[in-house]
Structure 1
Amino acid sequence: MVGLAGWPRLRSIGQYTLVCMQCPRAHRGGRGSERSHMTFDALTMHAVRDELEREILGGHVDAVVPIDDRRVGLEVFARGGRRTLVLSLRPTDSRIYLTGERVRRGTERVTPFLLLLRKYVRGGRVAAIAQPRLERVLTLHIASHPDGGLPREVDLIAEAMGRRSNLLLVDEDGTVMDALVRVPPSVSPRRPLLPHLRYTLPPRSLKVDPADPTLDAVLEEAARDAAGPAWRLVVATVDGLSPLAAQEALARTTGTSEIAVSAVDHWDDVVCALGEIVAPLGTGFWEPCIAWRDDTPVAFAPYQLRQFPDLEIRRYATMSEVVETAVQEAVRSAPFDRLRRPLLDAISARIRQAHRKRSSLDHSLHAAEEADTLRQAGESILANVYSLTPGATWLEVEGRRIELSPTRSPVENAQAYFRQYTSARDARRIVPPLQVAVEGELHFLEEMTLHVEMAENEIEIRTLRSELENLGVVHSLRSASHATRRGRTPPAPARKGQPALGAYRRVALPGAEILVGASALGNDTVTFRLGRPDDLWFHARGVPGAHVILRGVGGAANLSHIDRAARLAARFSAARHATQVEVDYTACKHVRKVAGAAAGRVTYRKESSLRVRPAESDAAL
């Protein structure tokens, strides 16, 4: 069992975000001040661009570091020091900022795009930094001498547009060299992003520039047929504004950020407030700050925030410091990510291979349905062998057209159809077991992905690597003799005949104990070696996850213990991010291994189920 009604419809290009991090989503609902204001808008981008000009313009790019699949770090030496420019183009919240942290490589995957960055960006000089007005597109002009050859200038362009966020390398003639995410015409017919195509900027917004002298008249006209919060009308009408900026302008003029459109009497005052907010576009005098509620950041902006009288407003020296502090996510790799990432990359490659194999098997089984047709075609050719002329390309029998190869004799054509018939006939017998094996492999790989992602220490990761090496999913590390020559102590060899236990965890409870499998072999160990017949076995229903054993309770299970074990099973499952997870549980004696399947594959019966909220941590239990 395993458009706002009645509002002007203005076309917007979406939101460009810069600096590379995913910010936590604030609580949605309630007062306007509790809305999420952690977005990286166009004004924040301008503040960061001005900072980059001061800090890294003219600097030398010493290294290109792939942090993960959607984040790249550029180590730049400038002004006598080294800083890291983080470029993260995640589909959710993309950001660009400078940090003093030295980032670590978080993936072993080498892509064509990364190779081009190493060739044309690494070793280059940041010659210029550009940003279209009120757009969230940042361009770094890089001057370099690739491979020690002639001078070459390229543009590294970060487009932070929500789910269409991308990072591109563009040649000096405007040709796309490659992209972090290639966009074919089938996905974006109007603006494909592929190597050798001409680069064009995203389409401009049709909104009104906040410096336009007619803006107050435009807002008054739009307000006549609009309803709802006034900040929504401002965002829909004025270019380059996030909801936070619109609410700030309204709060400065009306005293509240949630005023209705109909309650705004003087739109010219709102336009004056907007002018104050965007004034640093010309002066460069930004005022980066964060609004805090206790120890939680609520909003950040490159201008003074006056709409939060009940919050603590802290000012910072740079916009990058604001973003890095507010997002509360370090640019360094997660703990043990250097050990974890190669395993995830190897498993991901094997999963893609298994999917291709499954597709091929499905195609073969579909072709098996034509076996009788292929046999009849061969028999029909032999029955009409004397009526066929040399070089014939088809034969019609009882209204059915049979294709022939003109270079073959009639007998050879018939033999070719019989060979196809034999393959298709045998596929009916051979393919189904292979399909079952592939599904089992995919289930195992998905479960191992979960275990690797949730490994909590170096010992667990190394145990997982050992299991994957034994199965050929990842390559073995260097030999013990080579490690010894380099002055490192090789891992101790496993004792001959000693079965591998895999990784598992123990959670102590008053009067009971919970065992949690942390690998495929660890699942087998807790279920079939450590679990007693009457101990309770838990597993999240229908998704990969850990086997969880509640020991010491027997038939008289404590309901509190059952809830805790179920929450752990939900936490260590692929559904761990869900609000509620359905968990099955039964006695260990009702759990059976699947014959011939990989470790961790089981069937079970006589189960009960309950819905629980996944535990956030062991301490939360």
Structure 2
Amino acid sequence: MAFDGITVAAVVQELEHTLVGGRISKIAQPENDELLLTIKGNEGQKRLYISASASLPLIYLTNENKPSPMTAPGFCMLLRKHIGGGRITAVSQPSLERIIHLDIEHLDEMGDLCRKKLIIEIMGKHSNIIFCDLNGRIIDSIKHVSAQMSSVREVLPGRDYFIPDTMSKKNPMTATQEEFISAILAKPMTISKAIYSSMTGISPVIAEEICYLAGVDSSMTAHDLSEDVLTHLYRQFTYYMEDVRQGNFHPTIYYNGNAPKEFSALPVTHFNEYTKKEFFSISEVLYTYYSTRNTLTRIHQKSADLRHVVQTALERNRKKYDLQSKQLKGTEKRDKYKVYGELINTYGYNLEPGSKELTALNYYTNEEITIPLDPTQTPGENAQRYFAKYNKQKRTFEALTELIQETADDIQYLESISNALDIALNEADLAQIKEELMQSGYIRRKHTKKKVKLTSKPMHYISSDGYDMYVGKNNLQNEELTFSFANGNDWWFHAKGAPGSHVIVKSGGDELPDRTFEEAGRLAAYYSKNRGADKVEIDYIQKKHVKKPNGAKPGFVVYYTNYSLVIDSDISNIKNVQD
């Protein structure tokens, strides 16, 4: 999701409410392109994190501090000199640009009241933090941009500050119907692209949402639409912008599994395939979204070796399964050879020496068949040859049937580990999965004196009716939950025919309400390979009926009578307890 003008508008609203009137007590520059301002106001102490990073520009309120370098950079020292102890008087956003102005008043060395502006530009690789006087003259910036670096605008001390208008976009807050329609008609491209390339601060996701709300196919061009449809599209656009104007923000993160897929300051209804979670503030959304994305990215990178081990083993076993299946198919005609041998023994006594075939009545089917013969062998030898073929293929069939089942079990087991890697949330989860792979022989255990302590725990949820629900993150936890933690009358849930977590509901001897069964089923669906499907079939049964076969791999169970339900995998309304 782009850090678009609507997100910036939500940030400005929050900063206006929280920071205006507050005094800047500390100014730090943790990184070359970052500022951390500590502001004391009526609501206590707040920290404003600002990043002008080319790869990840951000601004949000946070409670977290960051270590600063021993010697403060020049830009930080300049800000401390001018606005240290200064009071924030206003927070604003020009048009719907990705720009925030912090108006600050302070006392100079003579004790006179002065006013300055701190301008934060959230513009991808062009992001910057610019410090200006009241007349718009640049005092300094966290990044200097010379004429050699940009022909559009210099950002250097002494230059006048201005917003470069390189795209000639319209202000969506003031655009008239005529301006809106003529702007998108002038763009020979899809409607959604025409909207976000014509209007300031509109991201591709928001452009898609406006088309979706208007019931317009976003892949069409504006010239494909009638005048009435274009008018309807403009009205929907103005309704959406009215929420921005009124500040009716609903900060939300949309999740695809455990991973945050998108975030938005306003509802994005066409994200109906994702699980959504609403937050109190846009700062909370930005912090959660990017910290979770960073964590998941780090965990995914750290799990790369484990994924490689599992994927390699899966590919090997799938190839083995295909080869064994082909070999098994070659034994399908084994019974035919047995019948051939029996018929030769029955009717072969009157065969002429050197006969190449025997035509006889098959008394199993009452049909006449022709049996090929080796003319160099006697009827008895021909019969024995067919019996030998039958016995060989029978032995092959029996051996392959057992081997195929073992290979299928290995594939199922490896897919369950792959699912565990998908839902791993931290390094402790990965350590437990690695331990499982070592126990199963897929990774060679290194003989070291230092023993890795396993601290990963199952996930804990509470149903709407107050019942504790536990979800295993991997096979070792599934095993522990089902056979050590759960009591006989607790309920066990699992996605039918798919790798996934064991879900245990502690019944306490009660008869569970239907709503709790449904919520436990959703957890089982969500933490399985079928996550995201509209309908997932779930098996559930009391734990006392779940058994583990002798010698079975961790997490493998059998049960012979069970209940079933079909449910979606939306767990957004189920309370997650962070133990």
> How would you bin the TM-score normalised by the shorter chain?
0.3 to 0.5
Structure number with higher relative contact order (C-alpha < 8 Å, ≥ 6 residues apart): 1
Larger Rg: 2
